[in-house]
Structure 1
Amino acid sequence: MNISCLIWFHSKVCVTQVPFPLLQGECVERVGRAEESVIALTSYRLHIKLQENLINVPLQLIESVECRDLTQLHLTCKDCKLIRCNFLSAEQCQDWLRRISAVVRPPARLEELFAFAFLSCSASVSAEDREVHDGICRAGGHQRRFKRELERMGFDSHSAWRISNINSNYRLCASYPEQIMVPAAVSDQELENVAAFRSWKRIPAVVYRHQSSGAVIGRCGQPEVSWWGWRNADDEHLIQAIAKACVTDPAANTAQANGSCLYHHSSGALSDSDPHMANGSAEAEPKTTPPQKLLIMDARSYAAAVANRAKGGGCECPEYYPNCEVMFMGMANIHSIRKSFQCLRTLCAQVPDPVK
């Protein structure tokens, strides 16, 4: 949601009290007060309050800050929000411009991020806040949340799927989580080989499962096919294993059993002349599970995918992946998306004409 606020500050008083609870490790840098307004700058956020208007913005969410018309401060946020603050004097506006500009710059070191200060100071929290902070900062907490999410979606981690720790300490792929859900029939050695074939080592990993049908959604990087049409047996096996794991999933089998019928008779009953009847009992034909179709959705256009083959990339060849269909979505590249977002933000920043 786009927000544009107009706030006036008539005076400035240096105090250390702020009208909101501070997080662990959060330090107050500057506070300005007027009769009914407060502007506070901490090591984590910019807080502005005027009567019913309240703005609470993390510093790393602010993309740029500039002074306009001498007394007006414009803050542009990365989520397309625009904040306008009007001060009584140009000196006040310039003072806050310098202070905010100094803290919104990217940190010189990773350890300067507020998250590290929050983590180190959370060790000494009170007993009543211990549970809240432990849920955020406890070592390995993200792994427990990952397992709970898998249980919620109903993954069968005993036969069809398994959790792989091949990306422990992010050694395989820096942009993937440490634990990855993969078919149980695929070994970590095969995943290593697949990573060498996929761009940025982003192997096909399952990220979502439909609780009723058992259908899954996975993500991956483009295959490094190049002009030579390279292929990778382990990559092809992994793609097929994902489809087979959906078939062996208990929920998927239950859905198929409830929606299928071995025999169909117009009278609704089996007849004695049925060739599969023996001594009044029916012999079911061996049930053969139809091959599951796998849809590969490529966000690029077909032309862009083919052009990437010159750089060593490319797309999946349907001939190498049986029962797979490749669909190109035709999405523009990142530069076009960025330009579109900038145009949207410019439009939101425009002041509407007064109603006549």
Structure 2
Amino acid sequence: MEHIRTPKVEQVRLLQRRAGQRKPLLGTLYLSATHTIFVENHPETRRETWVLHSMVSGLERPPGGPTGSQLVLRCKDFRVFHLLFPLERDCVEVHASLTRLSRPESYSELYCLSINPNTNQEEREKSWSLVLPSQDYQRMGLPNNLWVATAANSEYKMCDSYPAQLFVSRWASPAVLMGSSRFRSRGRLPVLSYFHQDTLAAVCRCSQPLSGFSGRSEEDEQMVTAVMKANPGSDFIYVVDTRPRLNAMANRAAGKGYESEDHYGNIKLHFSGIDNIHVMRSSQQRILDVGEQRTPSMSDFLLGLENSGWLKHIKAVLDAGVFIAKAIADEGVSVLVHCSDGWDRTAQACSVASVLLEPYYRTMKGLMVLIEKDWVSFGHKFSHRYGHLDGDPREVSPVLDQFLEVLWQLAQQFPCAFQFNERFLLDLRTLAYSCQDGTFLGNSEKERRSLRLQERSFSVWSRLWRDREKYWNPLYRAEQSQTQGVLRPNTTPYCFKMWKGLYSPAETPAPPAQTPVDFLSSVREGSQQLEQQLANQQEVADALRQRVRFSFWRELSEL
């Protein structure tokens, strides 16, 4: 509260153009420790608009005019609020307050850590046990005679951005593990991400080797060979470098680079061509710039979309997943995946491949487990990528956005294959940015444990699971072949669409037009109610028949 210069400003006008609002609303603006709140003056509606401070991505002060001073508030969910203050002094004070409130300097200032989770300790503990990576490894049949658990990273000494629980090839000795870790960027050696029980092929992940132009590591070469040996059906593995080849070659000048097929004799190298976080951040911003135009023509929109390159990047991420999935399911060949440090593009490629391969990950619970395992526990830098704390803006990038958009693109091609709907993906993205729960705080499992997040906050998964009814896809059929089999998407350019639901957030008073999925959800709910009424009537009918039989036999016995 000490950062709030003025907690209340009256006679403020609010306009949200991107939501279709044409006329400003007159009301009162309130600043709390966690939210910016606008309350409309209209006596009948008194509509309230709440914005978490952690969802604010930027603030601007355009030149003022005769009607007052302006403040533009941009949110991480792409909502844009235009505020008009009658007095410039109020605008300056609100701007200064929000600048500090939206850029917390420590985790303790975030929303999820400002509440007291001990008010319901049992619920908090239950929320953290709902989704566990260990359960997913057990589901995949691990450990087994090919892949074993190692305690080498139990105290995060081998790799501080990896989880404590790791599965590695049983042919990899402790000395090989340590030697491989020393030769990989950030110590991120090859470990198991996904095991395919039918083909015995595996998806493994790591970071780039410190090979430079001529460097070698005998232990790292043995480690890659051990990964190959863990698949008895193949005598080689694919190494998927998710970067463009030129980028990987440029890293050699910094002493890093990629695996040489001359030194690693059992590999086939494949470059996926996914650009880095800086390119992705710029690409998404260009899409937002198109949306900022008041009345863009169709040619302006299409040109802006093309110049952004966004759908090209989405295609690159999906293509990487398709290559890995085909290698695992069709060829029975294991795949080792990495980018530079192995926590951005590597997470994208591994998780997309898992979704294509495994029907379980296309369910709500399965997707939660996948994100918890391949993103949260394997050290995706959530706090850096989504601007949770005041830091370097060059570290911010929409890495998770791209993965969720790939899922949305797949759902357009396979509408019956996913248990969840679009709303689930949108809410999941919002929760990753908003810091309402502790799951997505921090940049590694080690950091989250040092923050004691399981004692000080709730897990996001219990929130989503509690509301699972509204996330249900009415087209989902668990028994269909499309749902059960490996997904084989068409990745030709004309199959990719603009995700309107993400970039056009609606905040209008009138109810939005009903989508086909919403209509089907309503039909499904109506059918369930009718089925329940039918069952109730059936019970009444059975009871009446029983009474008639009893009365008949009683009268017969009296005769």
TM-score with structure 2 length normalisation? 0.43
How many Å separate the matches in 2 of 1:15 and 1:73? 14
Shift of 1:327: 1.2
Of residues 118, 128, 141, the one that matches 1:123 is 118
Q: Secondary structure at the match of 1:134?
A: helix
The residue type equivalent to 1:336 in the other structure is V
Amino acid at match of 2:265: P
Using the alignment, how far apart are the partners of 1:86 and 1:64 within structure 2?
Answer: 14
* Aligned-pair CA distance for 1:312: 0.8
Where do 1:57-136 residues align within 5 Å? 58-68=52-62, 70=68, 73-78=71-76, 81-87=78-84, 89=86, 96-107=94-105, 109-118=106-115, 121-125=116-120, 130-131=122-123, 133-136=124-127
Q: Give RMSD over aligned pairs.
A: 3.2
Pair 1:230 & 2:215 matched: yes
CA contact (8 A) 2:290 2:296 kept: no
* Native 8 Å contact 2:35 2:53 kept in 1: no
* Partner residue, 1:191: 177
Matched, 1:11 2:27: yes
Change (3 A) 1:307 1:220: same
Deviations 1:29-77 (A, max 9, x none): 664422332134xxxxx2xxxxxxxxxxx43342212244656543333
Q: How far apart are the structure 1 equivalents of 2:34 and 2:271?
A: 51
Secondary structure at 1:150's aligned position in 2? helix
Per-residue CA distance 1:71-121 (angstroms, 9 max, x = gap): 654333345x132244574566555434432211131x3443344444xx2
The answer as to whether partners of 2:153 and 2:163 remain within 8 angstroms in 1 is yes
TM-score, normalising length: structure 1: 0.65
The corresponding residue for 2:392 is none
CA contact (8 A) 1:161 1:184 kept: yes
| SS of equivalent residue, structure 1 residue 168 | coil
Higher RCO (CA-CA < 8 Å; seq separation 6+): 2
Contact 1:9 1:33 in 2 (8 A): no
Distance across 2 between alignment mates of 1:30 and 1:221: 41
Does the C-alpha gap of structure 1 residues 115 and 191 become closer, same or farther in structure 2, counting only changes over 3 Å? Answer: farther
Q: Compared with structure 1, are the counterparts of its residues 226 and 29 closer, same or farther at alpha carbon in structure 2 (3 Å cutoff)?
A: closer
CA 304–39 in structure 1, closer or farther in 2 if over 3 Å, else same: closer
Q: Is the 8 A contact 1:209 1:216 kept in 2?
A: yes
Q: Structure 2 vs 1, CA of residues 112 and 65 (structure 1 numbering), >3 Å: closer, same or farther? A: same
Contact 1:74-1:82 at 8 Å conserved across structures: no
Amino acid at match of 1:125: N
Gaps of 5+ in 2: 1-16, 299-559
Mark the runs of 5 or more structure 1 residues left unpaired by the alignment. Answer: 17-26, 41-45, 47-57, 248-289
Please name the residue that 1:272 is paired with. Answer: none
2:134 to 140, 147, 159: 147
Separation of aligned partners in 2, 1:63 and 1:335 = 17
| Greater Cα offset, 86-95 or 189-198 | 86-95
Residue 47 of structure 2, aligned match among 37, 41, 46? 37
* Equivalence for 2:195: 209
Instruction: Give the conservation status (yes or no) of the 8 Å contact 1:195–1:202.
Output: yes
Q: CA deviation at 1:335?
A: 3.2
Matched, 1:241 2:220: no
Q: Return the alpha-carbon distance in structure 2 between the equivalents of residues 212 and 351 of structure 1.
A: 54
Asked if structure 1 preserves the Cα contact closer than 8 Å seen for 2:29 and 2:36, the reply is no
Q: 2:167 & 2:94 partners in 1: Cα distance?
A: 48
| Contact kept in structure 2, 1:222 and 1:314, CA below 8 Å | yes
Alignment map for 1:306-325 (pairs within 5 Å): 306-325=249-268
Partner Cα distance (2:183, 2:31) in 1? 58
What SS class does the counterpart of residue 28 from structure 2 fall into?
Answer: coil
Could you tell me which amino acid in structure 2 is paired with residue 100 of structure 1? L
Relative to its length, the structure with more helix (as a share) is 2
* Kept after mapping to 1: 8 A contact 2:228/2:266: no
Say how many residue pairs are matched: 271
**Aligned AA (1:39):** T
> Based on CA coordinates, which of the two structures has the bigger radius of gyration?
1
Q: Percent identity?
A: 25
Between the aligned partners of 2:24 and 2:91, the Cα distance in structure 1 is 11
Match of 2:380 in 1: none
Structure 2 SS opposite 1:11: strand
* C-alpha displacement of 1:245: 1.8
User: Who is 1:172 aligned against?
Assistant: 158
Indicate the SS of the match to 2:175: helix
Q: Which amino acid aligns with 2:117?
A: S
